[in-house]
Structure 1
Amino acid sequence: MKDKQARWLALYTLCLGNLMIVLDTNIVNVALPAIQGDLGFTPTALAWVVNAYMLTYGGFLLLGGRLGDLLGNRRVFQGAVVAFTLASVACGLAPSAGLLVAGRAVQGLGGAAVSAVALALIMGLFDDAAERAKAMAVYGFVMSGGGAIGVILGGVLTGFLTWHWVFLVNVPIGVTVWLLGSRILPHRPATATATRLDVVGAVLVTTALVLVVYGVVSTTLVYAAGGLAVLAVFVFWEARSDHPLVPLRMFRIRNLVVAQAVGSLWAGAMFATFFLTSLYLQQVLEYDALAVGLCFLPSSVVMAVFSLRWSDKLVIRFGPKPPLVAGLALVAVGLALLAGVPVDGGYVVDVLPAMLLTGVGAGVALNPVLIVAMSDVEPSEAGLASGLVNTSFSMGGALGLAVLASVATWRTDALSVTGADHAAALTGGFQIAFGIGAVFAVAAAVLGGVLLRTAPAVGAEPEIAPEAAAV
């Protein structure tokens, strides 16, 4: 196989593996009512089908990235795919609520490691600027479009089959990724200069992230505060460690830090958009699971077109910053439109235009965020940087979803007290949440536009290799 063909097949393998992980953050949401009825979850316990995954996923991203640097990114990726696939089998066949939650926690562990090293592996595959921009466009679509695809697939599988298949669908994907990865992914030695793992640092940062995520998803401030306190101890330890898990000099890399802030705000807005739009369609417009899934199809197609066909061209022509700012601005406009959805609204008039705008914006914006984040990172710390980027997205998404969902609930309860009917109260809650999400997107655009430092644009469109063009 030619070198270019091998590189692109390796990219598609990595993206397929990461898509499996991204899908799992949203594919379960549509199936939750069916899972509750079948396994007898209480309303409070049902949240743990999502929370168990988010806890371990968010908590182990940094550790997964550092293990990639120490043990080799390929080895960690392949092992994590096996863990995630086996956990998916356990979830799909779970006979009880407890076993399903345990399986979801293991899925989060495997998913964290896959996500943490995939970006580092992709950056190592492509040295040419044009090829790398195209590759990052494909990866960016997986990151941004995977959530919407998850809603679609969850609706289809739950509507035509059973909830078990939202987990079992991962099995053929995981097996395919492992087999392809075994043959295609390059064998490269570990790149980290340190030869041992900072065990104390790993325990501290993982504990801190788990506590923060738990505090966010359970809206329990004491756990979030405890997590931040442990995080402060982690920083103190890392400053004095001979082999730090996260060298503090990483936070002097301006573009990496700014990209993390931009990614956190963007993820907070987009995660909440998927979740709240699904609820509006189901609870206010009374769509079933299959219809909700199909409603996300147009925006997913638009996102794919702009991610795969236009994003890389815009980056090469103008540099990363202009498409990043423009894309986030479109996301903000889309969310502002959703902030006006009426109680008696219709999908075509009131929802679809906003979803198309957010689809275009997400398709354009994520690729430059990822390129800028990794642009100044040394190869020996690419896995760690990838883990940092993914942690910022995960934590931003969890925090944004928790904040916007809490605001929506508060507004709904306030309107109900005043005598508003249930649908009107729900709509009022969704409106204010979408409005705050628009503010998140605007803040991300401003941060990126003002603080990111980027190299000048090439000024001409690259000549893309045939293998890359055939996406």
Structure 2
Amino acid sequence: MGTTPGAAGSRLDPDVLELGVAVVVGSIAALLDMTMVTVALAELARGFDASVTSVQWVSAAYLLAVAVVIPVTGRLVERFGARRTWSFALVAFLVGSVLCGLAWSIGSLIAFRAVQGLGGGMMAPLSMMIMARAVPPEQRGRVMAVVAVPGQLAPIVGPLLGGLAVDSVGWRWIFFVNVPVCLVALLLARRVPDGPVSERGARWLDLTGLLLLCPALALVVYGLSATRGRLPLLVVGAVLLVAFAAHALRARAVAPLLDLRLFAHRPFAAASALNFLSRFSIFGVLFLMPLYFQQARGHSALVAGLLLAPQSLGTMLALPQVGRLADRFGARLVVLVGAAITAVAALAYTRVGADTSDLVLGLSLLLSGVGVAAVTVPVSAAAYEGLPPTSIPGATSAVITVQTVGASVGAAVLASILHGRMAQHPGNPADAFADTFVWVLVLTLLTVVPTLLLPLRRGEKGKPVPSR
């Protein structure tokens, strides 16, 4: 599947377009689901009589599953081929969606969300990998633009669809709606080329690292969100993380799940720290705002989805500009400006009340969206600055893992803080949210520290990545 040399620079091969449709249909279900759930959390808390610290696990379990499965996706493709791996991801997401819709308790829903995350987490790297292999390098820009469409639309469309489903037919349908989409995607999966397979994919799967990292992340995040008995959980989780790090640095016979040698490279280490902190605060806003709109303002899920739209709109408006600005002025300056913009928006969130103007909140969210784009785009590029080509696949897995772990930790910590503030302000939930948003502001300001370690301009190199 591909193009003739003469057509390589002009139009895309029809087979490639059909492949793009197959990939987009599968990807859009996972991306929409992640954003639809954000506006359903308040209804889930009411329906299951669950605390906010329990409900946040509906998102955190999904994100942790994504963080774990992304590093092994490439090995699965190598061993089983792209088509079978893509089909497995769709089936896992489909089964997880059905089980989530049938969940009978908050605990069962959390467990089934992890199943969903195993499938959904494979789809983003798989979609990019499948399309990158299908076309020559000179056409990859256009093809990746097609693959990026769901990611651009999901933050706006997802909360609206989620709110509409919750208000009209119930929260279970934010999961059941995935069923027909996944079935269509499975029918289209035959268009995905399988590619070469190799027995070495099985031998190179780092099972020891997987068995150490999975419980480590779960225990740390659970410990951060627990209202009591958190210290033993955090200690055991930290010990397992140290054991994973020791294993990853010593591994010789297998490629480690995450290549920790990359963190010896200053631009990558700085970008990773910034990715963690920024995703903490970004996802914190996405987690807190829908709850604030519904619990403190009394809005419906649909209205909450509408009120969230300005943030995604701000990101979409800024995205075309920040890449060019980063190329011209360097990542450090653009990210600093983005952090300042995000901090101004976070400062406004700390002043929220029960009757804060929707216009003020909308403008703050729009500003926050611009800041998010100005931070995330340059730092994604800066993470690869000075890395040899052989390190890029491992760096990509590490970047996405750090981002998803940062988001899940952010939800856990902020849920725990909000739970405590709710107890202090039992009759005024708006004050509890305002107090919690102070921590979003603090985390946003902390992003300045790793930002100062980013390359000042393109081409500035850090310490070379050590060889294994």
Question: What is the aligned partner in structure 1 of residue 413 from structure 2?
Answer: 403
Q: Which moved more, 1:287-296 or 1:88-97?
A: 88-97
Question: What is the aligned partner in structure 1 of residue 218 from structure 2?
Answer: 210
The CA deviation at 1:185 is: 6.4
Match of 2:353, SS state, is: coil
Say whether 1:238 aligns with 2:248.
yes
The CA deviation at 1:159 is: 1.7
Distance 1:378 1:123 in 2: 19
Say whether 1:253 aligns with 2:268.
no
Question: What is the aligned partner in structure 2 of residue 450 from structure 1?
Answer: 453
Q: Which moved more, 1:221-230 or 1:239-248?
A: 239-248
**Cα gap change, 1:93 to 1:16, in 2 (>3 Å):** same
Distance 1:107 1:25 in 2: 10
Cα deviation, 1:94-127, whole Å, max 9, x if unaligned, reads 4666654442221122223334555666777798
Say whether 1:161 aligns with 2:169.
yes
The CA deviation at 1:268 is: 0.7
Match of 1:287, SS state, is: coil
Pick the aligned partner of 1:434 from 428, 434, 437. Answer: 437
Tell whether the 8 Å contact from 2:342 to 2:371 is kept in structure 1 after alignment. Answer: yes
Q: Which moved more, 1:115-124 or 1:132-141?
A: 132-141
1:13-28 aligned at under 5 Å gives the runs: 17-28=26-37
Pick the aligned partner of 1:341 from 343, 348, 352. Answer: 352
Distance 1:136 1:54 in 2: 24
Question: What is the aligned partner in structure 2 of residue 468 from structure 1?
Answer: none
Match of 1:452, SS state, is: coil
The CA deviation at 1:130 is: 11
Cα deviation, 1:113-148, whole Å, max 9, x if unaligned, reads 3345556667777987996599489849928x7456
Say whether 1:110 aligns with 2:139.
no
**Cα gap change, 1:225 to 1:146, in 2 (>3 Å):** farther
For 1:288, the aligned partner's letter is: S
Tell whether the 8 Å contact from 1:26 to 1:150 is kept in structure 2 after alignment. Answer: yes
Question: What is the aligned partner in structure 1 of residue 182 from structure 2?
Answer: 174
Given the two structures, how large is their TM-score scaled by the length of structure 2? 0.79
Question: What is the aligned partner in structure 1 of residue 283 from structure 2?
Answer: 271
Match of 2:204, SS state, is: coil
Say whether 1:82 aligns with 2:91.
yes
Cα deviation, 1:354-397, whole Å, max 9, x if unaligned, reads 10101112233322222232455556554443331122112111
Distance 1:47 1:193 in 2: 35
1:272-351 aligned at under 5 Å gives the runs: 272-307=284-319, 309-349=320-360, 351=361
For 2:352, the aligned partner's letter is: V
For 2:239, the aligned partner's letter is: A
Tell whether the 8 Å contact from 1:141 to 1:363 is kept in structure 2 after alignment. Answer: no
The two structures, once aligned, show a CA RMSD in angstroms of 3.9
Match of 2:209, SS state, is: helix
Cα deviation, 1:207-250, whole Å, max 9, x if unaligned, reads 22222232234352322221111111122223332224234423
Match of 2:398, SS state, is: helix
Q: Which moved more, 1:93-102 or 1:293-302?
A: 93-102
For 2:367, the aligned partner's letter is: L
Q: Which runs of 5 or more structure 2 residues have no equivalent in the other structure?
A: 461-468
Distance 1:233 1:23 in 2: 36
The CA deviation at 1:438 is: 2.4
Question: What is the aligned partner in structure 2 of residue 360 from structure 1?
Answer: 370
1:30-109 aligned at under 5 Å gives the runs: 30-32=39-41, 34-35=43-44, 42-43=50-51, 49-64=58-73, 67-68=76-77, 76-94=85-103, 100-109=109-118
Q: Which moved more, 1:63-72 or 1:429-438?
A: 63-72
Question: What is the aligned partner in structure 2 of residue 461 from structure 1?
Answer: none
For 1:260, the aligned partner's letter is: S
For 2:439, the aligned partner's letter is: I
Tell whether the 8 Å contact from 1:208 to 1:227 is kept in structure 2 after alignment. Answer: yes
Distance 1:312 1:8 in 2: 26
For 2:170, the aligned partner's letter is: T
Distance 2:343 2:403 in 1: 18
Given the two structures, how large is their TM-score scaled by the length of structure 1? 0.79
**Cα gap change, 1:411 to 1:163, in 2 (>3 Å):** closer
Distance 1:274 1:166 in 2: 17
For 1:107, the aligned partner's letter is: Q
The CA deviation at 1:166 is: 0.5
Distance 1:217 1:193 in 2: 36
Say whether 1:5 aligns with 2:15.
no
For 1:169, the aligned partner's letter is: V
For 2:62, the aligned partner's letter is: Y
Say whether 1:393 aligns with 2:400.
no
**Cα gap change, 1:167 to 1:405, in 2 (>3 Å):** same
Percent of matched pairs sharing the same residue: 29
Question: What is the aligned partner in structure 2 of residue 466 from structure 1?
Answer: none
Tell whether the 8 Å contact from 1:59 to 1:213 is kept in structure 2 after alignment. Answer: no
Q: Which moved more, 1:262-271 or 1:187-196?
A: 187-196
Question: What is the aligned partner in structure 2 of residue 460 from structure 1?
Answer: none
Tell whether the 8 Å contact from 2:350 to 2:438 is kept in structure 1 after alignment. Answer: yes
Tell whether the 8 Å contact from 2:266 to 2:453 is kept in structure 1 after alignment. Answer: no
For 2:293, the aligned partner's letter is: L
For 1:329, the aligned partner's letter is: A
The CA deviation at 1:286 is: 1.5
Distance 2:247 2:377 in 1: 34
Match of 2:210, SS state, is: helix
Q: Which moved more, 1:211-220 or 1:90-99?
A: 90-99
**Cα gap change, 1:162 to 1:34, in 2 (>3 Å):** same
Distance 2:383 2:134 in 1: 17
**Cα gap change, 1:285 to 1:37, in 2 (>3 Å):** closer
Distance 2:456 2:81 in 1: 30
Tell whether the 8 Å contact from 2:338 to 2:370 is kept in structure 1 after alignment. Answer: yes
Match of 1:5, SS state, is: coil
Tell whether the 8 Å contact from 1:32 to 1:46 is kept in structure 2 after alignment. Answer: yes
**Cα gap change, 1:449 to 1:96, in 2 (>3 Å):** closer
**Cα gap change, 1:191 to 1:299, in 2 (>3 Å):** farther
